[in-house]
Amino acid sequence: MKFNPLLSLNIFFMIVFCMSCTDDLNFDNINLNVDPVFNGPIVYFKLTQNDFLEDDNSTEIPSITDLSDFEIFKPTNIRENTIEAVIDFEVANSFDRAFEISVKFLDGDGNLVYSLPDLQIDEGNLNYTFSHSIIIQNSPTFVNSRTMSIEVHLMPSSNPIDASISETLEFRSIGTFYLSF
């Protein structure tokens, strides 16, 4: 049988690794934060120029309102343990008109529990972003939210909406929720 120096070297390193020194591990000194964070989409919509025109294609509709379910706080353990919510918005406006978007949170009876500052979207702004943090300790009624009301206001302008020109307003919102147990 031939002597293989590579095999001998491998055996030597395996013995060294198996016999290496280790200290006892003390897990009592570890400061480990395991509070969950989760995020997900809240509301998405895409409006076209036709959504802001009556059936005659000449009369403008000044605002559109939508109510969406907001059930994140429906489970009691989420409602009782959320410490912060961050809502991020992205809007792409290809219209040559400005928009104002109002976002309100309502309880199960339709009562206002929280209102965000109005979003002012300039004409042609394809990259509008806005982030809003809600500290639950400062706004405890926010966890009673069950519905999200979004109202899109078409701002007055000398540029009328043309049904033959394709324009869109794309809105998306994402929520990040921080919990502590």
Kindly calculate the radius of gyration of the chain based on its CA atoms and give it in whole angstroms: 28
DSSP at 138: T
- What's the pLDDT at 171? 98
CB-based contact 34:163 (threshold 8 Å): no
- What's the pLDDT at 157? 92
Q: For tokens 């000449």, name the residue.
A: 58
- What's the pLDDT at 21? 61
**What kind and span of H or E run contains 79?**
helix 76-81
CB-based contact 116:132 (threshold 8 Å): yes
- What's the pLDDT at 180? 92
CB-based contact 130:119 (threshold 8 Å): yes
DSSP notation for 36-92: -EEEEEEEEEEEEGGGGB-TTSSSBP-EEEEEEE--TT-SHHHHHHEEEEEEEEEEE
Residue type present at position 173: S
Q: Which residues of the chain have pLDDT under 50?
A: none
